[in-house]
Amino acid sequence: MSSSPVAFQADTLFFLTNTLSVFLSIYIALLVIRILLTWFPNVNWYNQPFSALSQITDPYLNIFRSIIPPLGGMDFSPMLAILVLQLLAQII
């Protein structure tokens, strides 16, 4: 009993979109954790697990840091970064 190519494509598309949606949700959670940890000045970003979190999230955040510079000592770029990911997750 073989399935039709159309059903296989639909299953594959569902799997890919579901996987991407889960990935985006996890990445948004990591961004929120990263942002919350910046409130604690005693966090050493060179020690694990903070170093790994920084390596995962900083390349994406740096894209938005180059667009929106810190205003009055506050970095608002993470809000835009999370908003873009949430919009992408909604589209998917």
pLDDT single digits (tens) 65-90: 998 888 888 888 899 999 999 999 89
- pTM given for the model: 0.82
Residue 21 has pLDDT above 80, yes or no: yes
How far is 57 from 35, CA to CA, in rounded Å? 10
Count CA atoms closer than 13 A to 12's CA, side-chain side. 7
Element (H, E) at 56: helix 50-67
